[in-house]
Structure 1
Amino acid sequence: MAQLKQYIFFDFEMLCASKGLTFESMEAIRLGAVKYDLETRQITTFDQYIKPISNEPLSEFCKKLTGISDEDLIDAADFKEVLKEFLTWVGGIKKSQFFSWSSSDLTRLCLDASFHEISSSTIKKIQQRYVDFQAIFTQRVSKTNASVETALHLYGLTFVGEKHNPKWDAYNTLRIYLQFLNQPLASDLIMLKSFIFEEEEQYSVERVNTLLHHKLIDDFSSILGDRDTFPMKEASKLVKKTRNLVKKYNNILINRSGLFSQDILFLVKRLVDFHHTFISAYEEHRAYSSKIIILDDSERPLILKRR
């Protein structure tokens, strides 16, 4: 594997209509990208219109949304030629990591490459080095599928450049990624607000671990309490509830910022352990057609024992 030397963030503008189109027919009509050199931190850009196979005029909806006119596409190169120029600009797939805000851009790349009979081996090399950053950001920071503009706002930033211009969309996605990568404390604080302290108006860094301790105990007590016996139907719901709690608190275990105390890390690990133990116990009881499931003291989560 070649040494990683650069990030490539890319974005497509596609054919669109107010009444909707199948994704297969939403050909790319513009490709924008930014290249970020990991050593020099230099940023270079790529921006080209793409002439689609379809000869239909752009809809008024598409013109307004994308800012692209039929005249912009008259002398544009087709997808095959634009991709060739794009890869020349990239300067080496094997030394690159590719990103976009949503996997739809990779899907568009694959579909249009297939339409134009472009070598699948080239596309596979990009796929192997591709990251859907929106999915990561959703899982690790925002909880919901935020737009680029909303994600910037979470870090106190505003959109730079022209909206719905793929070059600027790619550039702003890079800005979000660099914040996520280089500002772990800010990212963890946003994550806490998104996943855990949704009803808290304000909290300080100093009080985070105290508040987390109370939240963990309250959340677990609300679904388990002091009970040790559950009908199987109720146990099935408990499996789902504990799974949701794991999703709620699991980002804490990554702890890139060092914000979370060893006590909190311990409690979250015990929560995860209990969830897996309970699933195993539930599946075993269900296999034997049990009517109830009983937790002995050793199976009760330490998070509740430490109240």
Structure 2
Amino acid sequence: MADIKQYIFFDFEMLCSDQGMAFEKMEAIRLGAVKYELDSEEISYFDRFIRPENRNPLTNFCKTLTGIDDTDLEKASDFKDVFADFLEWIGGLKKSQYFSWSPSDLSRLKIDSLKHSIPERTIRKIETRYTDFQDIFKKRVSKNNISVEDGLSLYGLEFLGEKHNPMYDAYNTLRIYQSYLCEPIKSDMIMLKQFIFEVESPEDIRMINLQLSKQLQQDAKEITEQLREIYRIRDVKKLLKPIKRLSLKYENVFLNRSGIFTKQNVCNAECFLSFYQDFLFTFEEHFAHSSRVVILHEYMLNPLKQLISTNT
């Protein structure tokens, strides 16, 4: 794969109705994007209306939601022509990394490209270089899928530009991405509140780690006190989701993007992740052999038991 020289953030506005509409029929009616050059840090913009094949008047709901009127689409080019201009504007599919805030934009691109006979290999070049940044942000910072506006507010930023304009949605997604990359400490501080503490984190790094250590110990105690040696397999299946939820909330501590977490807390976070993987493997192994009961070996719980008595 060629070296990445630029980032492309893109967003679609689509046909919509408050009466319900199948996603396949929600044709793109506007494409907005920004291009960020990695070397020069220069930003350029793309914004085009798209004339859909469905020529019925836009619903009032769609007009309000997208800010687009029928007159905006009357003289617009169709998807194939707009996409050709988009490719020319990009200037090199293989040197670009593509992002959007939600996978629905990639899905829209694929569906409308197929409808307009755009070569599959062209879309594949984009898809193989595509990142759903909303999903990354959910896993690493926000815990839940949130809007672009809410993502900005986590960093104390306001939405810049015209609302309902996909070009500005793309631009503000770029701003969140830059904050995520360039402010790892801020990102991990937000993550702690969203995933672990549920209250404002202390500012002092030492106090953060002390509080984190106590939370790790508390959760380890909660798990070990609830588990027993033998379960019916259907009961183990019910436990998978809550144990996964409890364990994976420490994944970002283990990754330690910001470097603010102590080695001990990173090690303890790894214990949770390892425990969940062992628990899942044990369930899958018993399930594959049609076992009615599951035996949890002592070695699985030992790391968590040691964590309970550990002081950071």
Fold in common (TM above 0.5): yes
- RMSD over aligned Cα atoms: 1.9
Structure 2 unaligned blocks of 5 or more: none
Cα 1:53/1:222, change in 2 over 3 Å: same
> Residues of 2 paired with 1:196 and 1:83: CA distance?
43
| Aligned equivalent of 2:89 | 89
Give 1:202 deviation, angstroms: 4.4
Amino acid at match of 1:303: L
TM-score w.r.t. length of structure 2: 0.92
For the pair 1:203 / 2:202, whether they are aligned, the reply is yes
> Residues of 2 paired with 1:180 and 1:242: CA distance?
28
For the pair 1:269 / 2:274, whether they are aligned, the reply is no
Give 1:187 deviation, angstroms: 0.8
Deviations 1:44-88 (A, max 9, x none): 000011111111011111111111111111111110000000100
After the TM superposition, which of the residue ranges 46-55 and 235-244 deviates more from structure 2?
235-244
Contact map agreement 2:30 2:48 (CA 8 A) in 1: yes
Matched position secondary structure for 1:45: strand
Amino acid at match of 1:242: I
Deviations 1:110-156 (A, max 9, x none): 11111111111111111111111111111111111000000000111
Contact map agreement 1:274 1:301 (CA 8 A) in 2: no
Contact map agreement 1:18 1:61 (CA 8 A) in 2: yes
Matched position secondary structure for 2:300: coil
> Residues of 2 paired with 1:64 and 1:92: CA distance?
35
Deviations 1:162-207 (A, max 9, x none): 1110010000000000011111111111111111111x34423421
| Aligned equivalent of 2:55 | 55
| Aligned equivalent of 1:218 | 218
Identity of aligned residues (%): 49
> Residues of 1 paired with 2:76 and 2:306: CA distance?
68
| Aligned equivalent of 2:187 | 187
| Aligned equivalent of 2:25 | 25
Contact map agreement 2:49 2:73 (CA 8 A) in 1: yes
Amino acid at match of 1:176: I
Contact map agreement 1:271 1:301 (CA 8 A) in 2: no
Structure 1 unaligned blocks of 5 or more: none
> Residues of 2 paired with 1:23 and 1:288: CA distance?
40
Give 1:31 deviation, angstroms: 0.6
